[in-house]
Amino acid sequence: MKEILYVLTDKYADHEAAFLSQAINSDERGLIENPKYINKIVAKSMCPVSSIGGFRTLPDYTFETLPKDYAAVVLVGGMGWLTPEADVALKLVSEAVAKGKIVGAICNAATWLAKHGLLNEVKHTGNGIEQLNHWGAKNYTNQKGYINAQAVSDKNIVTANGSGQLEFACELLRLLENDTPQRIEQYYQYNKVGMVELFTPKRFDFNTVGLFTTDNRKMVDFYTKVFGFTTTWDGVQPNVEMYMGKMRIILFPRADFEQMTSQQYSYPKGYNGTMELAIDVPTFADVDREYHNALSLGATSVMQPITEPWGQRTCYIADPEGNLIEINSFVK
């Protein structure tokens, strides 16, 4: 079995590896042993490593006794990544990136990647752009590649903020092909939404918007870059499912939908004035920030941010198909 190397520093964040390690060590439902990969711990010495939760973990390797080959390197977050001791991992991680190996970094470990210039060629996230700028200093030059999302996967590098441990796990599970995309999505929904929400009978569950499209690739690129939607789309299947929290967008190619329903439809030209998607952000300042970020990533401006008499800060942009998107907040 190929090994996944988890790099731990002192006071590592034990919860940040929990979803990933459990799914690797068993199937996504925690029922049977999964023979595809095996979890191994790497630390600066063979002494137990203490977590912020008080667990003491015995390493399998030091940086001097690493195996010649492995499937992935996972940097588990914690305060140790902001100290000089973390730099003992630099040779391993730099070589993994250079070889195109799968590398995951969550929370302060993503900040450590920025500090060493290892995020300058990939889309990424972390504990906020301010932290990456502060700790990355002159070595971090890819502010445009930052995406405000729980987790981001690009070119075999997965990054996440400190609360994105589930999204972090699922992005790595997809890259590792640990199970089918459908099973990994089930694992995500089960742990994100919970048993009560998933299994309580409901009359309705309105959580999906369908958009009829002419170019799915452009739309996927737009929604993943601008708003951090995730998708398992392989670029081949006609329909696309994208997720952000409980929100799901399905992209239907117009021609395929017409063939399925045996109907022909008329479509708006220019902006689609028949509906909108509404995105809530925390504060007025975030409305302006997300508006300008969206424009920098290819969105079309429909209405610049304004403050309405009823106390709402709002603006409108359009996606590549002309669908209107409102970004708004009621909090100054």
Domain coordinates in residue numbering, the chain = 2-176, 272-329
pLDDT at 32: 59
Mean pLDDT of 228-235: 91
Residue the block writes with tokens 């870059």: 225
pLDDT at 182: 87
pLDDT at 28: 56
Distance from C-alpha of 36 to C-alpha of 26, rounded to nearest angstrom: 9
Mean pLDDT of 46-74: 97
User: Residue 271: pLDDT above 90?
Assistant: yes
Confidence of residue 197 (pLDDT cuts 50, 70, 90): confident
Mean pLDDT of 130-147: 95
Select the more confidently predicted residue: 115 or 28: 115
Within a 13 Å sphere around the CA of 112, how many CA atoms are in the beta-carbon half? 28
What CATH number belongs to 272-329? 3.10.180.10
Confidence of residue 244 (pLDDT cuts 50, 70, 90): confident
| Long-range contacts (CB closer than 8 Å, 24 or more residues apart) made by 266-274 | 267/212, 268/322, 269/322, 270/322, 271/302, 271/318, 271/322, 271/324, 272/318, 272/321, 272/322, 272/323, 272/324, 273/324
Tokens of 157: 């590098």
User: Residue 34: pLDDT above 60?
Assistant: no
pLDDT at 287: 97
264 DSSP 8-state letter: -
Whether residue 47 lies in the annotated active site: no
pLDDT at 129: 95
Confidence of residue 203 (pLDDT cuts 50, 70, 90): confident
Report, in angstroms and rounded to the nearest whole number, the Rg of the chain calculated over CA atoms. Answer: 22
User: CA dist 170 to 49, 167, 193, Å?
Assistant: 25, 5, 14
What proportion of the chain, given as a percentage, has pLDDT over 90? 85
User: Residue 29: pLDDT above 70?
Assistant: no
pLDDT at 290: 96
Distance from C-alpha of 152 to C-alpha of 280, rounded to nearest angstrom: 20
User: Residue 54: pLDDT above 70?
Assistant: yes
pLDDT at 33: 61
Of 194, 130, 138, 116, give the one whose Cα is nearest residue 161.
130
Mean pLDDT of 69-85: 96
2-176 and 272-329 have identical folds: no
Average pLDDT value over all residues in the chain: 93
Mean pLDDT of 5-9: 98
Q: Coil, strand or helix: which one is 89? A: helix
Confidence of residue 299 (pLDDT cuts 50, 70, 90): very high
Mean pLDDT of 256-271: 94
Confidence of residue 215 (pLDDT cuts 50, 70, 90): very high
CATH topology of domain 2-176: Rossmann fold (3.40.50)
Catalytic residue from among 47, 107, 170, 315: 107
